[in-house]
Structure 1
């Protein structure tokens, strides 16, 4: 069997990457080859098809409508080949453990305590957890999905499904919260963190409320800084001082009475979502995880009595 109109197969991967990134350089980086190698293969494809596929500017590369159509067909064909290869190898979606990367504090304070419920609801789903932050590189990292705060642009070609909004507010031991609610704010130690250093500034900007020692330039006597966010929250549970806590990360401690939120919570404009290299509906494991995460996320909006409007 022959395909007389089929272009050279070696040209299709570089071409598809160049269209997706609108950049030869980015395509070369993804494929771990040189810029010249990608450029040559694209020109070979153009020669085979007898037409130009890009509008080339001094600093720009714009795929033509014909190039976008061909690239979409190439992606569809590659998806079919990948699916068949995964089925043959036994590593296909829906089979084997699911490797999930999650931001460390969310992993420790919210996800891990809920794993028994996930196991009970989906006994056939095995999840391997790892801590990580920032944009995931699914081509490099051995993970199938990532739970991330959306404080960065989604990588090209990555599926992102929103889960819940981020609500922030000062949290502390209930006895200290009573004192703050009564207006006694002097001498309170405010807890800062190196992994989210602007937390107090963000809260002050959103609410207009200023607490002593809340600014990044405040005197050190009324503040204590921890390397990681989860350490600052644990220090608040221990009664060391007051930390800015996202509602999702302090929800269980609020319900358990270990923490209180004297000033309520305000939406900071960010949120969390599930990222994956393919749409969840194409992987039964990710689809099951997403359904469960959505159920769990339903409780991550503060009750009306703890919602505070922006200042």
Structure 2
């Protein structure tokens, strides 16, 4: 028997869930068993291995480095088993997809297109969740996520490229009439956001243009900065994707156009599109809808 030294296999699921949640109570809720059942299985695993897997404190349960190492291997094995089962049974996942999307892109680009999604992909129900930064599919109960690649993606996440990020100054049309080159920008307020504090510096580095503003103002979120630009408060650096609709309606203008900043947006999923028809249909719709965002000719100034 090759696997005589294996730990008790029925303890691995409760153990992995406990490490992931750092809580036996949360693990028990996920597995639909009692707290006591999870505790017993974890203790059985510890006895089998001859070591403690958790630092137990009054109101905290902290996995040891050894526990995290073992849990990562168990998680990988479970993912492989799940993928193999999907392939041999040809099981088609059902139910809604939980889609996490960066908040500004969600509000200003995706939500206005939900009716089109429902009309053209009627078999896929999507639950939306605003979120940015690193993606944790299991922890956050997320199926797919739209993210910009300004951080490391999960190693095993499937990724579908959507569009390149393009940035440029935007402002209200009457304010743009006062701008004559970057010298004109120095006559108005520059708007910044906490979520992308280097946006103006990035644009200046890419274009070689330098701006000396009369004043500056920083707002907490990107969508607040863009709202201030639309209100005529000043000029903001904006991603083309999130202001495209405002440009077409004439609410904002981009006097210097847009330039690539070297990043791009991707659809990340816990399963490859070829293994999940819902993800495949959603990815196809997103690619069709975002294709114009990569097209220079579609960027009105």
* TM-score in same-fold range (> 0.5): yes
* Residue 145 of structure 2 corresponds to residue 152 of structure 1: no
Query: Aligned Cα RMSD in Å?
Result: 3.9
- Do the aligned residues in 2 keep the contact of 1:146 with 1:275 (CA within 8 Å)? yes
Correspondent of 1:279 among 269, 272, 295? 272
CA contact (8 A) 1:181 1:262 kept: no
SS in 2 for 1:179: coil
1:260-295 CA deviation, whole Å, 9 max, x = no partner? 111111100001001111112211111111000000
Following the alignment from structure 2 to structure 1, what is the Cα–Cα distance between the partners of residues 174 and 295?
21
TM-fit CA distance, 1:73: 8.6
TM (norm. structure 1) is 0.71
1:110-134 Cα distance to aligned partner (Å, 9 max, x none): 0001111101101222111010001
Q: 1:207 maps to which residue?
A: 207
Give the Cα separation in 2 of the matches to 1:29 and 1:110.
37
- Between the aligned partners of 1:299 and 1:286, the Cα distance in structure 2 is 21
Aligned equivalents of 1:83 and 1:31: distance in 2? 29
Q: 2:81 aligns with which of 77, 82, 100?
A: 77
Corresponding position: 1:97 with 2:96: yes
**Could you list the runs of 5+ residues in structure 1 that have no partner in the other structure?**
15-27, 44-67, 214-220
Paired residues for 1:39-188 under 5 Å: 76-81=80-85, 93=93, 95-181=94-180, 184-188=184-188
Aligned partner of residue 195 in structure 1, secondary structure: coil
Is it true that 1:266 corresponds to 2:265 in the alignment? no
1 CA distance for matches of 2:49 and 2:289? 47
**Residue matched to 2:288:** 295
Which residue of the partner structure matches residue 27 of structure 2?
none
Q: TM-score, normalised by structure 2?
A: 0.73
Alignment of 1:206-285 (within 5 A): 206-213=206-213, 222-285=215-278
Asked whether the 8 Å contact 2:167–2:258 carries over to 1, the reply is yes
SS of the residue corresponding to residue 174 of structure 2 reads: helix
Q: Which runs of 5+ in 2 are unaligned?
A: 13-17, 24-43, 51-72
For the 8 Å contact 2:169–2:256, the answer to whether it is kept is: yes
Which residue is 1:198 aligned to? 198
Q: 1:1-12 counterparts in 2 under 5 A?
A: 8=6, 10=8
Tell me if the contact between 1:109 and 1:250 (Cα under 8 Å) persists in the aligned partners. yes
Distance 1:41 1:234, change over 3 A: farther
Contact 1:118 1:292 (C-alpha < 8 Å) held by counterparts: yes
Deviations 1:76-115 (A, max 9, x none): 434234779996xxxx62x111110100000001000111
3-state SS of 2:139 partner: coil
For residue 254 of structure 1, report the CA deviation from its aligned partner: 0.9
| Matched position secondary structure for 2:108 | helix
- Hey, what's the Cα distance between the residues in 1 that align with 2:140 and 2:286? 22
Query: Could you say if the C-alpha distance between residues 157 and 176 of structure 1 is closer, same or farther in structure 2, counting changes exceeding 3 Å?
Result: same
